[in-house]
Copies of this chain bind each other. A is one copy, B any other.
Amino acid sequence: MALNNPNPMGPWKITVYDQENFQGKRLEFTSACQNIMECGVDNIRSLKALQNITHMTYRENIWAGYEHSSFCGQQFVLERGEYPHWESWSGSNAYHIERMMSFRPICSANHKESKMVLFEKENFMGRQWEINDDYPSLQAMGWGNNEIGSMQVQSGSWVCYQFPGYRGYQYIMECDRHGGEYKHYREWGSHAQSFRGRRFYQ
């Protein structure tokens, strides 16, 4: 899978461990990893998403982790910080398979410039709603029901969540993937009820 990574050497840096609590085999990455098994590790059980200090400009360090190799399966947004076990990055325990096999940096926009349009029906039809801020509840922002038909990411990257309050499954939506167009819930995985624009400091 070809990755459209405009800056493969940073500002990203991630350290992963094959045991919980930052124990066991330790590997460092500054760009995407398509299959951790190719690095001699059977699974990622803890990690640290760090600032790459070789970069003088302070920029945000955000990664997306995936359940399967080649960036497939359940998605996990990894903000900068330390994650001692699977529960610390997973927002859901309904589907409890403790596996992270691939990861990649997310290209973000300045939080204030992130913009997305939600549509009531698939294929960008029906009522529409432009959002440019975080919304912990779809219903509280004025949306009539629990479902989104389609979405168009116009700027930046967004994280959508299965349940209100940024809980449950996570779905990463990016303006530079699929041309920012998510025509049907199959294209992001399921339904979403809360939205969070990605921040990017520099």
Q: Which residues of A contact B (CB under 8 A)?
A: 49, 51, 60-61, 77-83, 85, 87-94, 96, 134, 136-140, 146, 162-168, 193-194, 196, 199, 201
Q: Which of A82, A83, A90, A91 has the most CB of B within 10 A?
A: A91
Q: How many copies does the complex hold?
A: 2
Nearest chain B CB to A170 CB, angstrom units: 9
Among B78, B162, B164, B168, the residue within 8 A (CB) of A80 is B164
Report Cα–Cα, A89/B193, bound state, in Å. Answer: 13
B167, A89: Cβ atoms closer than 8 Å: yes
Provided the pairs A87-B94, A91-B91, A93-B96 are in contact, do residues A78 and B136 lie with their beta carbons within 8 angstroms? no
- Give the complex CA separation of A163 and B76 in angstroms: 13
Q: Looking at A90, A139, A201, which has the most chain B CB atoms within 10 Å of its CB? A: A139
Contacts of A91 in B (CB 8 A): 91, 165, 167
Provide the main secondary structure of the chain A interface. Answer: loop
Contact (Cβ within 8 A) B94 A164: no
Given contacts A87-B93, A134-B134, A165-B89, contact A79 B140 (CB under 8 A): yes
Residue of B nearest to A95 (CB): B87
Most buried by B among A165, A166, A194: A165
